[in-house]
Amino acid sequence: MTARAPLAALTAPLALLALWQLAALSGVFPTQVLVPPADVAETLWSLARSGELERHIGESLFRLGLGYLIGAVAGLAFGACIALSRLAEAALAPAFLAVWQVPVIAFVPVLVIFLGIDEPFKIAIVALATFFPVALATFDGIRGVPKAWFEVARVYRTRIPDLILRILVPATVPAVLTGMRVALTRSWVVLVAAELLAADSGIGQMMEMGRQMFRIDVVLAGVVVSGVIGFALDRGAKAIEHRATRWKYA
């Protein structure tokens, strides 16, 4: 990386912003189609000042957090269960793999019928989107522990709690964390989709309302916010993953 690289990296977005501003000001496009970036920034600022943006983000993140927690705990338990017991694997894995073939988004209509379009539906769809990657990563992680390590543990007469804490957990953490990171970004996408479909608050709903009222500045503000949140979630999860697996590269 040369010192010039960051500058060059900024050129394209800045040039695009300038072009966008000029195109919007030229009056060729009606304001329902293109608004200048300055207007988007202004809308974002006024949404932030009125506390509306904070409310939408808060609602979305609350749903994401609760659904993710439920899905991740269930996924960890399920993945560990089918990885550790051959009977559980034989009984549950085929059904799990069959359901896994269905894109999570396709469960939206089913969940709406059973749960309605309120809060439980959104939390359930996030939990579902989280459950599958976490369960699969946990299963792979535990099954990937080399047999030899258990044999060494037996030679050293390691007690069961030690076996779990000092061999099983450290050996599976990297795979599980990767699965949890993938699950986080996926559940964010699914949540935004669910909010577009049916919600009274949240980033997705803010964009959908903006669309229905032809407020393209609000829609674009929503696009920016959902992008920044998605980016922050991914980066945050990557940082945690990196810290927790530091010993691997030492």
Partner 1 sequence: MKQVLARPAARFAIGFVVPLLFLAWWQWQASSGGARALTFAPLQSIGAALVELVADGALARDMFATVSRSLAGLAIGGSLGIAMGVSMAIWRPLDRVLGPLLHAIRQVPLIGWLPLFGLWFGTGQGTELIVVCLSAFFPAMLNSYEGVAHVEQRYLDVGRLYGFTPFQRFRLLLLPAAMPLILTGLTQALAFAWIASIATEILLGAGSGLGVTMQLAQTQQRLDVILVAIIATALLGFAINTLFQRLRRHLLRWQAAPL
Query: Is 74 near partner 1 (CB under 8 A)?
Result: no
- Residue 142's nearest CA partner among 107, 108, 170 is 170
Query: Is 228 near partner 1 (CB under 8 A)?
Result: yes
Q: How far is CA 241 from the centre of its chain?
A: 14
Residue carrying the six token digits 């037996």 = 154
Contact string (CB under 8 A) for partner 1, positions 183-212, x = contact: -----xx--xx--xx------x--xx-xx-
Q: Answer for the pair 229, 203: CB distance below 8 angstroms, yes or no.
A: yes
Q: How far apart are CA 67 and CA 188, in angstroms?
A: 10
Query: Is 59 near partner 1 (CB under 8 A)?
Result: no
- Residue 203's nearest CA partner among 231, 229, 236 is 229
Q: How far apart are CA 108 and CA 124, in angstroms?
A: 10
Query: Is 143 near partner 1 (CB under 8 A)?
Result: no
Among the candidate windows 39-47, 111-119, 120-128, 174-182, which touches partner 1 by CB under 8 A? 111-119
Query: Is 25 near partner 1 (CB under 8 A)?
Result: no
Residue carrying the six token digits 């069959």 = 98
Residue carrying the six token digits 């059973």 = 114
Query: Is 32 near partner 1 (CB under 8 A)?
Result: yes
Positions touching partner 1 (CB under 8 A) are: 5, 8-13, 16, 32-33, 86-87, 90-95, 98-99, 101-103, 105-110, 112-114, 188-189, 192-193, 196-197, 204, 207-208, 210-211, 214, 216, 219-220, 222-223, 226-228, 230-231, 234
